[in-house]
Amino acid sequence: LSLMHTFQNHIYYVELSNDICSTVVLFSEGEVRSQLSEQLKVLDAQLEQKTQQLQDLSDYLRRRGEIEAEYARSLEKLSERFTLKTKKKEQSDQSVAQSWTVLLTQTKQESRDHSSLSELCSTTLTQRLTHCIEDTHRLAKKSKEVGLQMQDELLKVTTELQTVSALKTYHQYHTECLAAEGKLKEATRLEERQTGKSSDLGLGQSAGQRRSSVKKIERLMEKRQGKVQETQLKCTKARNDYLLNLAAANAAMNKYYLEDICTLIDCTDLGYHLSVSRVMRGYLSNRNRAQQNLKNGLQQLDASVNGLDQSQDRDALLQAHNTAFCLPFRFQHQAHEGDQVCEVSADCQVRYEMETRFQQLQSRLASVTLETEEVSKTLKATHTALLDNICDDDCNPTPDISATLSLESTGDCPGTKQSLAKRRANQQETEIYYFTKVKEYMIGSSLISKLQAKHDLLKEAIQKGNNQIFFSYQEPICLHHEGIFRVPGSQSEVNHIRDAFERGEDPLTDSECDIDSVAGVLKLYFRGLEKPLFPEEFFNQLMECVQIENMTERAAQIKTVVSSFPRPIIIVMRYLFAFLHHVSQYSDENMMQPYNLAVCFGPSLLRGAESGDAVTLQPQINALVKTLILQHESIFPGPSELPGPVYEKLALFDYVARSAAELSFKQGDHVTLHSKASADWWRGEVGGVKGLIPHKYISISEG
């Protein structure tokens, strides 16, 4: 557009009036030729610039490929060096070895990524750029040829506009037209003078002379007017031809400067930007893939670092060398010449001595235990301090360069080295103290184990207990009580027990209660529910199940109906009917067969037909409850299919497991209980690990 405006500054039109009525075209053909030549120079310079850019980019990628190849080879050598060392040794399952393996794998992947980038830069991308340079030169050459042709056509049009016969003819006819109009005007003035003379002469001139003079003037006027019309017609035609040629020349000029130049530049740049874009996209794609692989590798390395576990590595080491670290067989008692006694005896003769020795041993054990506990507390504190000192060592992430430079400029580096040396010295002192306490703790705990073993044997011998008593189990007396759940208890005592339970108290711990009253509380609870335990909308389906004669099919149909009950109701039913089945197993003593229990609990559990005949439906209800008692294991899902309630407790004290079956925890930890293993132990989990939990170390969590 700027070139068009420049050209229009040199081609303009001037309308002249008065004596000269013509259009004059003024322009400089030399300047137009110079401008067109400048256009070709600009396009050549643009070609040179593009070629240089492509060449520089190709050189950059080639050099980048060399650098990436060198870096990839260095990483590969580094990885192979340590991978071979690892293969020569036995494979280890320890967490540190796994982290080391992940690091080497990530290094290999990084080497492959850099090698891939090197191959891409050195061959594929540079080859594309070479093709792009060739295409750019070829297209520029062809575009220049077309441009030269278009410029020649444009110059031909502008030259013809000046030299073509239409312009000369137009000028010639316009001149003739002006001359004819001048002669017509002279003839008109002549006629006016002739008319004036005739009036002055009057009658002196004959009529014949006057008519002859008038006819001459009329013929002259007709001739001159015809000549003017003829020349005007020729001038109009010539002017029209010239204006048409002028419009065509201007249109050609506009077309070239407003459209053809842009088309030529687009032809010159055909595929240039697309080729560069493909090269850049290929480079970006490879780099993004390498970055993603690096990110994934670092995430795996981070996961392996988070999985570093000292206890796990210790267990793996012991498992891998089980022969060296396994516990030897117990020392067996070696009887002498037929002696069959193989346990500590506290007969009358040695009872006093054994009791005295037991008391001394008990006192000694308490003293050593207290000393060892104090050593253990000191050991834990020292262990924590030592780990903190190790964490504060110089293995922390390196600070940024600006911070390092600021430290160097302020002269703090010597102080930093002194501080590091001081920390190292303190760490070594802490290590010495730590191992001293470790030694004391191991000696003390070893002494405790020996004293405890003697203490337990003496205690068993003195109490004349069994050799091994782990848990005791005694069937509750209530299961043998005749008429349980059938014989009503004291109503006042039933109400007292119920009120105590509703207040969150346990009235059965400190006082002895009547068994019938306690059993009455259970029946009262189900009878007092606003909605019965069995949902009323399933009453008819349950009654239909009772009509099935085959007990197995009946139980299966009842299970189908019960499975659609809400989960909490199913859990309560599972415990209730398992308990009633347990009660019925002592029916030879308590006289409560499954049918008797069904009669006692049926009306409290099912209340479906409000308008029906309750007396008529009672046998079906009793039959249904009896079936549930007898077939409870097949009807209700087991704990694996539908877990029961889980209780959350708080640890009151720290506890260290003494065997693989027990769990360790700290004061304040949340402990989840599943079931009671004995009077002193619970089955539960801490932090997702399942095991045994001591009863005296936990308490109900607040809230």
Is 331 domain-assigned?
no
Domain co-membership, 282 together with 144: yes
Position 15 scores a pLDDT of 33
Place of tokens 């850019």: 53
Is 420 domain-assigned?
yes
Position 468 scores a pLDDT of 29
pLDDT-wise least confident of 214-228, 236-250, 292-306, 333-347: 333-347
Domain co-membership, 264 together with 170: yes
**Higher model confidence: residue 577 or residue 30?**
577
Place of tokens 């009896």: 626
Dist. CA 570–CA 563, nearest whole Å = 8
Kindly state the average pLDDT of the residues 419-445: 88
Position 60 scores a pLDDT of 94
CATH number of 557's domain? 1.10.555.10
Query: Are 95 and 308 a contacting pair, CB within 8 Å?
Result: yes
Among 306, 332, 352, the domain-final residue is 306
Q: What is the pLDDT of residues 468-481, one digit of tens each?
A: 222 233 345 567 77
Domain co-membership, 680 together with 695: yes
Is 354 domain-assigned?
yes
Domain co-membership, 530 together with 657: no
pTM (two decimals): 0.48
Position 10 scores a pLDDT of 40
CATH number of 692's domain? 2.30.30.40
Domain co-membership, 388 together with 503: no
The SS3 assignment for 93 reads: coil
Alpha-helical (H) ranges within 392-514 are: 401-410, 413-463, 491-502
**Higher model confidence: residue 689 or residue 5?**
689
Domain co-membership, 502 together with 627: yes
Is 184 domain-assigned?
yes
Amino acid at 378: T
pLDDT at 638 over 80: no
Q: How many domains does the chain have?
A: 5
Tokens of 315: 């267990």
Kindly state the average pLDDT of the residues 535-552: 89
The SS3 assignment for 694 reads: strand
φ/ψ of residue 694, rounded to 5: -70, 140
Q: Which helix (H) or strand (E) holds 309?
A: none
Q: What is the pLDDT of residues 59-104, one digit of tens each?
A: 999 999 999 999 999 999 998 888 888 776 666 678 888 888 899 9
Position 531 scores a pLDDT of 87
Amino acid at 583: V
Amino acid at 386: L
Domain co-membership, 156 together with 177: no
pLDDT at 520 over 70: yes
Dist. CA 402–CA 409, nearest whole Å = 10
List the one residue out of 378, 390, 392, 391 whose CA is nearest residue 435.
378
pLDDT at 11 over 60: no
Domain co-membership, 566 together with 420: no
pLDDT at 24 over 80: no
Domain co-membership, 548 together with 585: yes
Kindly state the average pLDDT of the residues 368-379: 90
Position 88 scores a pLDDT of 66
pLDDT at 485 over 80: yes
pLDDT-wise least confident of 22-26, 282-286, 500-504, 691-695: 22-26
Domain co-membership, 586 together with 690: no
Query: Are 171 and 22 a contacting pair, CB within 8 Å?
Result: yes
Domain co-membership, 86 together with 130: yes
Owning domain of residue 374:
343-397+410-469
Is 175 domain-assigned?
yes
**Using 50, 70 and 90 to split pLDDT, how confident is the model at 390?**
confident
Ordered DSSP codes for 574-592: HHHHHHHHHHHTTHHHH--
Is 651 domain-assigned?
yes
Within 13 Å and on the Cβ side, how many CA atoms surround 373?
Answer: 9
Position 12 scores a pLDDT of 34
Position 614 scores a pLDDT of 58
pLDDT at 199 over 70: no
Tokens of 270: 């055909």
Bridge-partner residues for 665, per DSSP? 655
Position 608 scores a pLDDT of 67
Query: What average pLDDT does the structure give for the chain?
Result: 80
Domain co-membership, 248 together with 288: no
Position 393 scores a pLDDT of 60
Among 420, 454, 469, the domain-final residue is 469
Dist. CA 76–CA 110, nearest whole Å = 9
Position 115 scores a pLDDT of 93
List the one residue out of 670, 667, 665 whose CA is nearest residue 646.
670
Is 392 domain-assigned?
yes
**Using 50, 70 and 90 to split pLDDT, how confident is the model at 125?**
very high
Q: What angle do CA 293, 296, 301 make, to 5 degrees?
A: 120
Mention every residue, 6+ apart, whose C-beta is less than 8 A from residue 548: 554, 557
Among 635, 657, 679, the domain-final residue is 635
* Phi-psi group of 603: left, alpha or beta (phi > 0 → left; psi -120 to 50 → alpha; rest → beta): alpha
Is 21 domain-assigned?
no
